[in-house]
Amino acid sequence: MNARSNPLKLNPLQLRTLALLQEMARNPELASIDPQSGEALLTQIPHPHGDHFHIGAKVVAARDASGFANPSVWAALERKGLARGQFPYALTLTVAGLAYDTSAAGRLLHGADH
């Protein structure tokens, strides 16, 4: 990833976390979109079972979601205007956070067999 495709200079953990949060925002069981602001309120963060967890029909390795439990990642996403919330209870992805190109989703999300 070159600097232009990551203008806010998110580190790899922040990029992975944002990519997963964006996928969660697309799932109506995990998030709701505010029709006026376009922001996504994440109402649930999935919990791993074994070495993975599910976001809808997609499977994610638990090791790729370590940013969910890291207050520094949440603080960085807030500071950069991509999210806001109260760690670890609530998170809203801003319109900028929803639109940010992480280029990571394809490496993190896999089809589910169960």
Q: Which domain holds residue 67?
A: 3-111
CATH at residue 100: 1.10.10
Give pLDDT, residue 46. 82
Domain total for the chain? 1
User: How many whole angstroms separate alpha carbon 93 and alpha carbon 83?
Assistant: 4
Share of the chain above pLDDT 70, in %: 89
Structure tokens that stand for 47 in this block: 């919990």
Q: Which residue has the higher pLDDT, 105 or 84?
A: 84
**Segment 66-84 mean pLDDT:** 94
Q: What is the 3-state secondary structure (H, E, C) of 44-113?
A: CCCCCECCEEEECCEEEEHHHHHHHHCHHHHHHHHHCCCEEEECCCEEEECHHHHHCCCCCHHHHCEECC
Give pLDDT, residue 45. 83
pLDDT band for position 44 (cuts 50, 70, 90) = confident
What is the per-residue pLDDT across 20-41, written as a single tens digit (0 to 9) for each? Answer: 999 999 999 999 999 999 999 9
Looking from the CA of 22 toward its CB, the CA atoms found within 13 Å total 22
User: How many whole angstroms separate alpha carbon 12 and alpha carbon 1?
Assistant: 10
